Amino acid sequence: MYAIVKTGGKQYKVAPGDKLNIEKLDAEVGAKVELEAICVVDGEKVEADPAKAAVTKVTAIVLEQFKGEKQLVFKFKKRKNYKKLRGHRQQLTRVEIESVGSAKAEKKVAKKAAPKKAEKAEEPASVDAE
């Protein structure tokens, strides 16, 4: 099950367990937020009406608030001796999608390594020819 959510003027395809970077949200790290669903796709049916899809709850957990990479903005007008160089770093929020409707993210459990068995070196059996 996945959904198309709208946040920060953009649309994202999300499924339980996904991590994505979105425009800054006013929420503390570790807080749960609800995102607005505009389309929900189940294995069997598709709900494309935004009014009906908004009933489906898409919850996410805020992992961190951070700045994106620097984007350079260079303005230039030829033959006018006009040049400007500015930089911009967007404020972003990294979230992990916890659930889409009734579908929840599966917790990843670290598998323990199986103990290695000591392999015994077998000696080749000698065959006596009689």
- Mean pLDDT of successive 10-residue stretches along the chain, which has 130 residues: 93 95 96 93 87 90 97 97 97 95 73 64 62
pLDDT, residue 11, reads 95
pLDDT, residue 43, reads 82
Given a contact cutoff of 8 angstroms between Cβ atoms, the answer to whether 64 and 31 are in contact is: no
Q: Is the dihedral of CA 89, 93, 94, 97 positive or negative?
A: negative
Q: Is the dihedral of CA 46, 48, 49, 51 positive or negative?
A: positive
pLDDT, residue 52, reads 87
pLDDT, residue 114, reads 62
Q: How far is CA 116 from the centre of its chain?
A: 36
